[in-house]
């Protein structure tokens, strides 16, 4: 298994890239997605909800990947999809870590936000879908960065740079 290390700066940059790419894809999904893609998105969100426990964190992260894959397909921009794929492994890892440690209430709120994004997509409200998606990613970033800082404060290591192993 290949292990890399992510610094706080790298984690922040991953989430910044996600916020830019995913919010733009939400807007494009509104403009371009077919009804079949909308129906598939509803099914994938339901599947993600079924795995939303700390014990199933890896499966939940994979189900969330599938949600965003449908959004990328519906957005119809292959270049943006390729750019997002470059981040895929690290995003999945960060989703897994945050799901494992998130409280049940936080996980419920996350799914509620995802349903809100879906409602905006279904209503074909590009501005709202873009705004909610950006907020969803920024909320995830804040949580991941707080976990990184907390783990750094609790680490026995005297290293100045705090990192997350992936």
pLDDT tens digit string along 143-156?
A: 999 988 887 655 44
Which tokens in the block code for residue 159? 């290293």
In Å, the largest CA–CA distance within the chain is: 54
Which tokens in the block code for residue 93? 């890892």
CA distance 101 to 17: 23
| pTM listed for this prediction | 0.85
Q: Place 4 in a pLDDT band, splitting at 50, 70 and 90.
A: low
Q: What is the average pLDDT score of the chain?
A: 88
Residue 136 has pLDDT above 60, yes or no: yes
Which tokens in the block code for residue 153? 């404060």
Residue 13: helix, strand or coil by DSSP? Answer: helix
Q: Quick check: 11 and 162 in contact, CB under 8 A?
A: no
Q: What is the pLDDT of residue 160?
A: 42
For 116, how many CA atoms within 13 A lie in the half-sphere containing its CB? 15
Residue 6 belongs to what H/E stretch?
Answer: strand 5-7
For 39, how many CA atoms within 13 A lie in the half-sphere containing its CB? 3
Q: Quick check: 157 and 47 in contact, CB under 8 A?
A: no
Which tokens in the block code for residue 26? 């939400």
Domains of the chain, earliest start first: 8-141 (1.20.120.530)
- Segment 34-52, tens digit of pLDDT: 999 999 999 999 999 999 8
CA distance 35 to 160: 51
Q: Place 161 in a pLDDT band, splitting at 50, 70 and 90.
A: very low
Q: What is the pLDDT of residue 24?
A: 97
- Segment 65-93, tens digit of pLDDT: 899 999 999 999 999 989 888 888 888 88
């Amino acid at each position: 298994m290949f292990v890399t290390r992510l610094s706080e700066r790298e984690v922040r940059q991953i989430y910044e890239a996600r916020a830019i790419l995913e919010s733009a894809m939400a807007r494009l999904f509104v403009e371009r997605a077919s009804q079949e893609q909308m129906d598939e998105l509803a099914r994938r969100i339901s599947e993600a909800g079924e795995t939303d426990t700390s014990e199933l964190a890896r499966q939940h992260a994979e189900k969330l990947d599938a949600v965003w894959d449908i959004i990328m397909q519906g957005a119809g921009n292959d270049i943006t999809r390729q750019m997002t794929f470059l981040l895929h492994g690290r995003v999945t890892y960060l989703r897994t870590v945050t799901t494992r440690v998130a409280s049940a209430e936080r996980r419920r709120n996350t799914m509620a936000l995802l349903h809100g994004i879906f409602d905006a997509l279904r209503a074909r409200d590009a501005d709202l879908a873009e705004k909610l998606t950006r907020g969803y990613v920024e909320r995830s970033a804040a949580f991941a960065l707080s976990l990184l800082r907390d783990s750094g404060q609790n680490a026995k290591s005297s290293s100045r740079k705090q990192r997350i192993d992936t």
